[in-house]
């Protein structure tokens, strides 16, 4: 057997343009950070100086609840003595519509995750291999190669792969800015739409993430209503990726586009243009299960997407177990409450630790990450080259995999997405300590350049900072203990309290 050839050569000549085009986006800092982690992963005993993964938006804070449910419900799995009697039925071929009990359970969970203010129809559920497959499927259904979707920026770095790579669809950013906390406005969408039209681009739709990845912010009801009117007026599609719907831990209530559709005047909304992408990867912390959902109000889209779902079905074994789990009302309600509470505590601990080093973040109320402002650490505040220089230092010296804002198509250098829910408490403390040490060293360099009179002031501040750092671990521990010592307390931002 011959050896594998690298780029070019005979191998390159016999591969398709789809397989070899550069739209995957793998050659970006977002994915490069993951590669750095994979080469040198942090471990407390085996590799304490390795890279800590803070580029993965994964929710590991409530996996203990899921493990306990599995132990208490062995019949839900065909791989246990209690559930093996179902093996033959589930192992046989299943229709790509999906198990009826799974579709019914998933829409029930979607309703609960949105505070019970909306209901969903199981007949409109189309399965896919995670949100990645769901987003690609909806693009295949709605657009032809060369057609355009508008995407508010900063946006999820892997959208370049999910939306464009195999579909040939183009994306045009709708730029948002820090001057108004990156808030999306209809005026910005309209401007981007008109510019695309002027360039003879065929705009087929607008795709949003709500809650936002990477910002952790949510769209208010008025903005959503105006966006629905905008797409209806211009006869383009609106796709809303709501995979972080149940990660809300503070601020206002999450508003699903489904609420807007259900309550809007029929003359102001064309429901055939509205589609939702959902997944259990973030809300339940189950990305490995590859459960993605396309939910469309358009009958033709449901029919087409269902045909395409043959290429990315959720395994019947997974469907069976999740149907049982998501149908357990008591478990689901407790999970949603506890997840919201734990995310709120973790977010508070992390942002407090950053604040003690002089680092601020965009105010957020959902998600598994923060949008961290490091503009003051850039060599040149107006330079993306400076942002990448800083990112390389953080990866290679500080040993943290964080993602630079440029990989999310942010228009302003110096912003970074940092994930906080994919690690245990002790690893989080190590990450914060590394950040504090890094910032402290940079502050010391500034001190060396100051005058003698300023030196005295800086030394006093350094002493205060050292005292704060010495008490940091204790203050974190107190915050955790205060939050976790009252398991019966319901988070005020739990979706169940908003019902």
User: Is-cis flag, bond preceding 211, omega within 30?
Assistant: yes
The catalytic residue among 90, 138, 236, 243 is 243
Number of C-beta neighbours around residue 487 at 10 A: 10
Residues facing residue 279 across a β-bridge: 292
Rounded CA gap, 51 and 55, in Å? Answer: 11
The catalytic residue among 241, 283, 373, 399 is 241
For residue 241, indicate whether it is catalytic.
yes
**Three-state SS sequence of 233-276:** HHCCEEEEECCCCCCCCCCCCCCCHHHHHHHCCCCCCCHHHEEE
For residue 399, indicate whether it is catalytic.
no
- C-alpha dist (Å) from residue 181 to 297, 410, 414: 32, 12, 14
The catalytic residue among 156, 244, 295, 297 is 156
Q: For helices 130-142 and 299-308, what crossing angle results, to 10°?
A: 120
Instruction: Name which of 332, 342, 366 is nearest 496 in CA terms.
Output: 332
3-class DSSP state for residue 373?
strand
Query: Which one-letter DSSP state was computed for residue 383?
Result: -
Q: Which helix (H) or strand (E) holds 434?
A: helix 425-448
The set of residues, in sequence order, having a beta carbon less than 8 Å from that of 443 and lying 6+ positions away, is 458, 462, 465
Q: Which residues are catalytic?
A: 156, 241, 243, 282
């Amino acid at each position: 057997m011959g050896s594998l050839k690298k780029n070019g050569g005979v191998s390159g000549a016999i591969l398709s343009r789809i397989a070899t085009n550069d739209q995957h986006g793998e050659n970006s800092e977002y994915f490069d950070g993951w590669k750095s982690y994979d080469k040198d992963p942090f471990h407390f005993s085996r590799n304490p100086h390795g890279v800590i993964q803070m580029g993965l938006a994964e929710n590991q804070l409530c996996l203990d609840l899921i493990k306990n449910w599995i132990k208490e419900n062995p019949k839900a799995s065909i791989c246990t003595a209690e559930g093996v009697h179902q093996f033959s039925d589930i192992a046989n071929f299943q229709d790509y519509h999906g198990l009826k009990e799974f579709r019914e359970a998933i829409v029930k969970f979607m309703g609960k995750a949105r505070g019970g203010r909306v209901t969903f129809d199981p007949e409109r559920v189309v399965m896919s291999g995670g949100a990645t497959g769901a987003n690609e499927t909806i693009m295949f259904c709605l657009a032809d190669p060369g057609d355009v979707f508008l995407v508010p920026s900063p946006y999820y770095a892997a959208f370049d792969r999910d939306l464009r790579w195999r579909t040939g669809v183009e994306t045009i950013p709708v730029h948002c800015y820090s001057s108004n906390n990156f808030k999306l406005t209809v005026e910005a969408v309209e401007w981007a739409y008109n510019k695309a039209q002027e360039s003879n681009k065929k705009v087929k739709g607008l795709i949003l993430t709500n809650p936002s990845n990477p910002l952790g912010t949510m769209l208010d009801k008025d903005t959503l209503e105006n966006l629905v009117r905008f797409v209806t007026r211009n006869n383009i599609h609106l796709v809303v990726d709501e995979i972080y719907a149940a990660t809300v831990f503070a601020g206002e209530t999450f508003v699903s586009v489904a609420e807007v559709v259900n309550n809007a005047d029929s003359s102001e909304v064309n429901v055939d243009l509205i589609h939702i992408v959902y997944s259990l990867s973030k809300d339940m912390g189950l990305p490995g299960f590859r459960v993605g959902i396309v939910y469309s109000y358009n009958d033709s889209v449901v029919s087409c997407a269902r045909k395409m779902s043959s290429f990315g079905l959720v395994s019947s074994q997974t469907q069976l177990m999740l149907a049982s789990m998501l149908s357990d009302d008591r478990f689901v309600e407790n999970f949603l409450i506890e997840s919201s509470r734990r995310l709120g505590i973790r977010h508070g601990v992390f942002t407090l630790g950053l604040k003690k080093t002089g680092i601020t973040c965009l105010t957020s109320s959902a998600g598994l990450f923060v949008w961290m402002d490091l503009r003051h650490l850039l060599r040149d505040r107006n330079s993306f080259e400076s942002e990448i220089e800083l990112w390389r230092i953080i990866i290679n010296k500080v040993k943290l995999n964080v993602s630079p804002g440029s990989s999310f198509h942010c228009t302003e250098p110096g912003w970074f997405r940092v994930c906080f829910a994919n690690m245990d408490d002790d690893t989080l403390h190590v990450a914060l300590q590394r950040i504090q040490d890094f910032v402290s060293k940079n502050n010391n360099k500034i001190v060396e350049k100051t005058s003698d009179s300023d030196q005295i002031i800086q030394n006093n501040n350094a002493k205060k900072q050292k005292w704060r750092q010495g008490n940091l671990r204790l203050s974190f521990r107190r915050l955790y203990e205060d939050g976790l010592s009252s398991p019966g307390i319901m988070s005020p931002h739990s979706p169940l309290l908003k019902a």
